[in-house]
């Protein structure tokens, strides 16, 4: 039996991020399904004993429990990526990757909230959340436009990193709350490339551009 256990919800984009990295690292894991909607199981005593914040995903690796989206990704990459592709150790490259992980954990918060509001009628002003998400996507698209002109196709460095993996789900799933991907051609190109990576997993709502 795999030592890694992922507690997550199938339609939660943060749980998807963890599944995606586990798969791309070629790891085996077992999944414990948590009924986030409508059951709210992530806020009940059994899950709060693992993560007092009541958020998903939660990863248990042996005796270690890790929660929080960025900590989960950073831990898995540090512990299980011997090639250091996803989280390079060179200080400058490391800082660049962590900068985009941080962007995903903060600036893309409205995108996560907008999707939950659209799918599950969670609290929030749809118009405000969508506008904030579109602003973050514009920053990302402008960045990738410049990178493409420089002959580079990933958010930082010459290959995919945690920066790309952290950012991918929020934009890819944004049609769920009314974002037209045609507005962001550089991100459409990047999504096509990301989908071609070995170990890629999809989920409902992820587009397959032709």
> In tens digits, what is the pLDDT along the chain, a chain of 210 residues?
679 999 999 999 999 999 999 999 999 999 999 999 999 999 999 999 999 999 999 999 999 999 999 999 999 999 999 999 999 999 999 999 999 999 999 999 999 999 999 999 999 999 999 999 999 999 999 999 999 999 999 999 999 999 999 999 999 999 999 999 999 999 999 999 999 999 999 999 999 976
Q: Topology of 91-195 in CATH? A: Glutathione S-transferase Yfyf (Class Pi); Chain A, domain 2 (1.20.1050)
Helix (H) or strand (E) holding 60: strand 58-61
Q: For CATH 1.20.1050.10, list the domain ranges present in the chain.
A: 91-195
Q: What is the pTM of this model?
A: 0.96
Residue 200 vs residues 32, 77, 195: alpha-carbon distances, Å: 20, 16, 6
CATH code for the part of the protein at 4-80: 3.40.30.10
């Amino acid at each position: 039996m795999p030592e890694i256990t992922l507690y997550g919800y199938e339609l939660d984009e943060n749980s998807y991020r963890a599944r995606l990295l586990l798969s791309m690292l070629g790891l085996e894991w077992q999944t414990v399904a948590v009924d986030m909607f409508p059951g709210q199981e992530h806020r009940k005593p059994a899950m709060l004993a693992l993560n007092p914040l009541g958020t998903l995903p939660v990863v248990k690796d042996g005796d270690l429990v890790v929660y929080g989206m960025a900590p989960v990704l950073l831990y898995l990459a540090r512990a299980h990526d011997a090639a250091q592709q996803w989280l390079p150790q060179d200080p400058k490259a490391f800082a660049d990757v962590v900068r985009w992980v941080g962007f995903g954990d903060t600036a893309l918060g409205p995108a996560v909230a907008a999707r939950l509001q659209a799918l599950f009628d969670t609290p929030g002003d749809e118009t405000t959340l969508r506008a904030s998400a579109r602003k973050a996507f514009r920053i990302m698209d402008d960045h990738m436009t410049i990178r493409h002109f420089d002959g580079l196709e990933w958010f930082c460095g010459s290959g995919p990193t945690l920066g790309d993996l952290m950012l991918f789900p929020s934009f890819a799933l944004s049609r769920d709350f009314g974002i037209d991907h045609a507005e962001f051609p550089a991100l459409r190109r990047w999504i096509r490339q990301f989908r071609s990576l070995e170990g890629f997993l999809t989920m409902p709502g992820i587009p397959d551009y032709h």
